Chain A
Amino acid sequence: MKKSITMEVNGSSCEVEVEPWRTLLDVVREELDLTGAKLGCDIQVCGACTLLVDGKPVSACSVLAVDADGRKVTTVEGLAEGDRLHPLQRSFMKFGALQCGYCTSGFLLTAKAMLDENPHPDDEQIKSYMGGSFCRCGCYQEIMQALRSVAQG
């Protein structure tokens, strides 16, 4: 029994038919081919699946797609404007804030939400806001540098 939902994904409206038990992560990845968000832990801990729903970060592995009906969803694919990378993406590149890249989408989107709420967070605020994302390659130091750089604008 499928349900029709409409979401505004990265600025474009899209309608999909989904089973009510499917997660937002699954639908975005499988139905919309936006695979930047990853499944890491499946229980809202690691941050790899983070998407923005109405601008707020959510663990898309644990949100039902039907609950995103009528809402705005931002994925990492929606950060750059054409060929022009988002300032966070440029800063991650400059400071080398990624290695394997599996966590990167989650970090970028969480950081975007943080900066939208508070454009100039200090170190403690950054650590607190970003505490729900794991980088297993150990790029935390570079991530801090990249975020600090954007936060200090």
Chain B
Amino acid sequence: MAISERPLSAQDGQRLDYQAKLTGRAAYLADMKMPGVLEGVVLRSPVAHAWIRYVDASEALKVPGVVAVYTKDDVVQGTGIEPYYGPVFKDQTIVAVDKVRHVGDPVAAVAAETREAAEEAANLIVVEYEDLPPVMEVQDSVKEDATLVHETVRIPEHGFADLAELKPIENTNVCTHFKLRKGDIEQGFAECARVFEDTFILPTTQHVALEPHGCIAAFQPDGRVNLWSTTQNPFVVRTQLANIFKMPVSKIRIMVPYLGGGYGSKVYPKIEPLTMALAQKAHRPVRILLSREEVFYTVTKHAAFIRMKTGVKADGTFHAREAEVFLDTGAFAEIGPRVAKKSAYTAAGPYKFSHVKIDAKSVYTNKPPAGAFRGFGVSQSAWASESQTDIIAKALGRDPYELRMQNIYDEGDEFVTGEKLWSIGVKGCLEKVAQEMKWGEPMPAPQDPSKVRGRGLAALIKATITPSISCAAIKLNEDGSVNVFTSTVEMGQGSDTAMAAIVADTLGISLDQVSVLGVDTDVVPYDLTTSSSRSTFHMGKALELASLDLCEQLRRFVSEEHGVPFEETRMEGGKVLFRENALDIREVLFNHFGMQGGTLVGRGEVKTSTVDPDTGDKTTSSFWFVGAGGSEVEIDKDTGRLRVLKHATAVDVGRVITPLGCQQQLVGGAITGLGQALFEQMVWDNGILVNPNLVDYVLPALGDMPDEITPIAVEVPHKNGPFGAKGIGETSLIPVAPSIANAVDDAVCVRIKDLPVTAEKIFLGMLDES
């Protein structure tokens, strides 16, 4: 394995969640039992865009076993409910009120003793629609005469700090427009020897976490409410629910079991508001478990349409980049405005440009809402930028690797925002990938003469959400063991193990002495979100600080009890050392409390800012994550059929915390990227989603794997990360698609600009070429 062998306490193959998961005993949301729980079923819109004339639930209420039916009347006339919500703009309602905006938009919901009764009742609800023309593509949606998806959009009183400047644009379907400017773009192009213009397209895709979304809500007799939810950011969901139901957050308790995958699909409120509303109306606990089809209507990845214009000097220096990025955010803003902003920051790629003009628009359409997806806007802009980099190299007769290395960021270079970049190992990543792919060496000829091979590269830079907050606490028990209180959600990424390893290594105790509680907002301290590849960096650091807080308390006890100056004590290998003495943690606690008992609590918090507290410099991202990928493909000249033979992915991880977790994230992300590159797309026909199932929406399977996917961890430590570590969750996905398209062009001189890269497109391209 090409991951550096410098493990902390976590050894290969050791993960805290494995015993439970391998024996079928790990509890996911749908595995939880609750006496008296009602089953909730959602009635969804069959049309993409329509006014709702009326909703009549009278027949549904007559079905035996039905306890409550929730409709728009409850939203509008409900006492104490704020009808509008949303993480950026308040454009969502618990069920559709005035109109439906996409196929699958929730219109009503039924709570009944059995799922069968709830389904029967939902089918008896009569809804009369008055059809409106749906707008399905961003290119149509931005036209002046396009039908409006939202007539008005409300802004929350307290939004996210990083999105404060983005406002809805009245009387258009443009949800937000983020502008990034550097230099003078016209002057820049005038100074260039060559200018390249291309358009790139990506389809809507879906995360397909194997576990569908679900929620259980149970009101308590004192008015408090307990929720169990498949959420990646319970504290944000708690805030949103508190706003909707006008309750203090202290009365809303959210617990999160293991998630069966997230990849961004489970951030921000999904089914929680409706589950809680039904439970409130039914005066009974309610659970809603979404079907696979409903998941496709709940959240997607933004489709994109990207115009990219790049000017280069005669010597290959990248000089001017103009890009117009249209991101299809679907029927609701959700987190689309931030996706667009992140897309804009990296539309110039990991390269130095003197003149930059980026316009990133999130655009409403009548598709299901698009939200966070591993890669968060960057896989869209990188598809364009990295494909065009090879187009430029080919036109200039330059080697794509050399051209990238000539223009790529290095330590201290200025980013498009004007700030300096530090801890930025992208050059090293590209170098390692090129080595691994045997770049520059002759391609071995395929045994089968009807096949031809090619290689391609891609690199990236991406920001993490900034500013943000992670708070953590750890509890030291009388026997020296530790309980960790963190809101980082274990959704498969191995965070429980990474967090425990950071605590164990900071305290100098073994990993088996550390337990991670699990997420419960009544107990664990605040954390913004498990997304944006931020947990190891932010929560890991908070836990390192919490552990150091404990160390300091233990040293202080020893200092006071033994009359030793504090500075002459230190903590090492789980012992407090002073003079020639070494006291283990248990002894220090016993001496302090005078018996076996007592608790010490260590606290840690990380709050990042858009200004570096040390230097005063602007900091768009608390750390940058960078990486590179390389693909080797083989194409059948007769059919266009493509096989990826090898993929190498290098990620600047800062510092490996858990080698296994690191390998899994790097390879796993690349495999998700492979699906996005080769197969996945949601297909519409007249506003109707044609393939909301796993027969027609194709996922990568074992047989689609390359012979080898090689993970390479490059370690350029970050001053603010725990042990120097940075985030790694998204990086490896992003270069996969462009590196494959670049390899296809290398093999058969066919440039594919719209994903996915299919045999049909390659075949037709070869026909054109000949």
Using known A-B contacts A131-B703, A136-B209, A139-B664, determine if residue A99 contacts B493 with beta carbons closer than 8 Å. Answer: yes
Restricting to A105-153, which residues have a CB under 8 Å from any CB of B?
105, 108, 126-128, 130-134, 136-144
Q: Are A102 and B261 in contact (CB under 8 A)?
A: yes
Dominant SS among interface residues on chain B: loop
Report chain B residues within 8 Å CB of A143: 702
Residue of A nearest to B663 (CB): A96
Chain B nearest CB: distance from A98 CB in Å? Answer: 6
Report chain B residues within 8 Å CB of A24: none
Report chain B residues within 8 Å CB of A43: 292, 693-695
Surface stretch bound by B, among A1-9, A63-71, A86-94: A86-94
Using known A-B contacts A29-B31, A140-B705, determine if residue A76 contacts B24 with beta carbons closer than 8 Å. Answer: yes
Restricting to A48-93, which residues have a CB under 8 Å from any CB of B?
48, 75-77, 79-80, 85, 89, 92-93
Chain B nearest CB: distance from A121 CB in Å? Answer: 12
B669 interface hit (Cβ, 8 Å): yes
Chain A nearest CB: distance from B710 CB in Å? Answer: 10
Q: Are B702 and A131 in contact (CB under 8 A)?
A: yes
Q: Are B210 and A103 in contact (CB under 8 A)?
A: yes
Report chain B residues within 8 Å CB of A131: 701-703
Q: Are B24 and A137 in contact (CB under 8 A)?
A: no
Alpha-carbon distance A141/B672, docked complex (angstroms): 13
B551 interface hit (Cβ, 8 Å): no
B8 interface hit (Cβ, 8 Å): no
Mask, B684-718, CB within 8 Å of A = 1, is 00000000011100011111010001000000000
Restricting to B110-131, which residues have a CB under 8 Å from any CB of A?
none
Q: Are B18 and A136 in contact (CB under 8 A)?
A: no
Report chain B residues within 8 Å CB of A42: 291-292
Report chain A residues within 8 Å CB of B694: 40-41, 43, 45-46, 134
Q: Are B701 and A101 in contact (CB under 8 A)?
A: no
Among A38, A42, A140, A143, chain B packs the most CB atoms within 10 A around the CB of: A140
Residue of A nearest to B708 (CB): A141
Chain B nearest CB: distance from A96 CB in Å? Answer: 5
Report chain A residues within 8 Å CB of B724: none
Mask, B1-41, CB within 8 Å of A = 1, is 00000000000110101101111111110110100000000
Q: Are A137 and B664 in contact (CB under 8 A)?
A: yes
A-side interface residues, number (CB < 8 Å): 53
B491 interface hit (Cβ, 8 Å): yes
Partner of B24 from the list A77, A128, A139 (CB cut-off 8 Å) is: A77
Q: Are B15 and A96 in contact (CB under 8 A)?
A: yes
Restricting to A1-45, which residues have a CB under 8 Å from any CB of B?
29, 33-43, 45
Alpha-carbon distance A132/B20, docked complex (angstroms): 24
Using known A-B contacts A46-B210, A133-B702, A136-B699, determine if residue A36 contacts B24 with beta carbons closer than 8 Å. Answer: yes
Partner of A136 from the list B21, B30, B210 (CB cut-off 8 Å) is: B210
Q: How many residue pairs at the A-B interface have CB separations less than 8 Å?
A: 158
Mask, B185-219, CB within 8 Å of A = 1, is 00000000000000000000001111110000000
Alpha-carbon distance A94/B13, docked complex (angstroms): 5
Chain A nearest CB: distance from B420 CB in Å? Answer: 34
Partner of B26 from the list A101, A132, A133, A139 (CB cut-off 8 Å) is: A101
B494 interface hit (Cβ, 8 Å): yes
Alpha-carbon distance A144/B703, docked complex (angstroms): 11
Alpha-carbon distance A66/B23, docked complex (angstroms): 26
Using known A-B contacts A136-B261, A138-B671, determine if residue A100 contacts B703 with beta carbons closer than 8 Å. Answer: no
Partner of B22 from the list A98, A127, A128, A133 (CB cut-off 8 Å) is: A98
Q: Are B695 and A138 in contact (CB under 8 A)?
A: no
Chain B nearest CB: distance from A129 CB in Å? Answer: 9
Residue of B nearest to A21 (CB): B116
Partner of B260 from the list A29, A37, A38, A94 (CB cut-off 8 Å) is: A38
Report chain A residues within 8 Å CB of B668: 99, 137-139
Alpha-carbon distance A98/B491, docked complex (angstroms): 11
Report chain A residues within 8 Å CB of B25: 36, 77
Q: Are A75 and B24 in contact (CB under 8 A)?
A: yes
Q: Are B259 and A100 in contact (CB under 8 A)?
A: yes
Q: Are B210 and A141 in contact (CB under 8 A)?
A: no
Q: Are B702 and A127 in contact (CB under 8 A)?
A: yes
Partner of A140 from the list B208, B210, B263, B671 (CB cut-off 8 Å) is: B671
B765 interface hit (Cβ, 8 Å): no
Q: Are B21 and A98 in contact (CB under 8 A)?
A: yes
Residue of B nearest to A86 (CB): B22
Partner of A38 from the list B207, B210, B491, B492 (CB cut-off 8 Å) is: B210
Alpha-carbon distance A29/B29, docked complex (angstroms): 13
Using known A-B contacts A41-B693, A96-B13, determine if residue A137 contacts B23 with beta carbons closer than 8 Å. Answer: no
Partner of A41 from the list B260, B292, B664 (CB cut-off 8 Å) is: B292
Chain A nearest CB: distance from B678 CB in Å? Answer: 14
Alpha-carbon distance A97/B365, docked complex (angstroms): 39
Partner of A99 from the list B492, B695, B701, B703 (CB cut-off 8 Å) is: B492
Chain B nearest CB: distance from A37 CB in Å? Answer: 7
**A contacts, CB < 8 Å to B:** 29, 33-43, 45-46, 48, 75-77, 79-80, 85, 89, 92-96, 98-105, 108, 126-128, 130-134, 136-144
Q: Return 26 A-B CB contacts under 8 Å, by A number.
A: A35-B27, A36-B25, A38-B30, A40-B292, A43-B694, A48-B210, A76-B22, A76-B23, A99-B261, A99-B494, A100-B259, A100-B492, A102-B210, A104-B21, A108-B22, A133-B702, A136-B207, A137-B492, A138-B671, A138-B672, A139-B664, A139-B667, A140-B700, A140-B701, A142-B663, A144-B705
Which 7 A-B residue pairs are closest in the complex by CB-CB distance? Answer: A36-B24, A100-B492, A138-B671, A102-B260, A101-B21, A138-B668, A99-B492
**B contacts, CB < 8 Å to A:** 12-13, 15, 17-18, 20-28, 30-31, 33, 207-212, 258-261, 263, 291-292, 491-494, 660, 663-664, 667-672, 693-695, 699-703, 705, 709
Q: A96-B664, A105-B24, A140-B702 are in contact. List 12 more A-B contacts (CB 8 A).
A: A36-B23, A39-B30, A40-B210, A41-B292, A41-B693, A76-B23, A99-B494, A101-B492, A126-B702, A132-B701, A134-B699, A140-B701
